[in-house]
Amino acid sequence: MKKKIISLSLGLFIAFVFTTCDFEKSFDSTLLIGKWSRTSPYATAENPGSEYYRYDRDGKGATWDTADDVWEEEAQTFSWTLEKDLLTQLHDMEIGGSKVPKYYTITLLNANTLTYKDDYGKSFTFKKEQ
C-alpha cells in the first residue's frame, strides 16, 4: 500500500511539473535586424535569383525576389514583431490600403541563420547578408 501511495504521489508530481513548465522558445529580436536571403523558390538555371527579407530596427521591413525581377527599390513593405518565437509580418498592400498578416514560428535565430515554419509546417532557412 505504501508503494502505491509513493508511486501515485510521484506520478502526480511529475504531471504537475510538466504541465507548469513553459516549453516555448524565446529569441532576441535584435538578431533579426538586417538583410536575409535564400535561393528564390522561382529561380531556374536560366533565371537564378534570391529571395530577400530586410528587418529594420523600427519594426519595419521589406521583401523582394530577384528571380521575379523585383529589386530592393521596388520591395513589398511590411511591419514586423517578434514575441518569443512568433514572428508576425503585416504586409502593406497597394490596393485597398489593407495589411495582410503572415505568421511564422522561429525555430533557429542566430547571427548567421534564420529558420522558421509557416502555418502549414513548411520550413524556410535564410542566411544573413554581410
The predicted structure's pLDDT at residue 69 = 93
Could you tell me if 34 and 128 are in contact, meaning their C-beta atoms sit under 8 angstroms apart? yes
* Residue boundaries of the structural domains of the chain: 25-128
Say how many C-beta atoms besides its own lie within 10 A of residue 107's C-beta: 15
The predicted structure's pLDDT at residue 3 = 66
- C-alpha grid cell for residue 28? 532576441
First to last CA, the chain: 66
pLDDT digits (tens, 9 = 90+) for 29-75: 999 999 999 999 989 888 899 999 999 999 999 999 999 999 999 99
Sign of CA dihedral 89, 60, 33, 63: positive
Q: Across all residues in the chain, what is the average pLDDT?
A: 88
Could you tell me if 90 and 80 are in contact, meaning their C-beta atoms sit under 8 angstroms apart? yes
> Looking at the domain covering 25-128, what would its CATH class be?
mainly beta
The predicted structure's pLDDT at residue 75 = 97
The predicted structure's pLDDT at residue 96 = 73
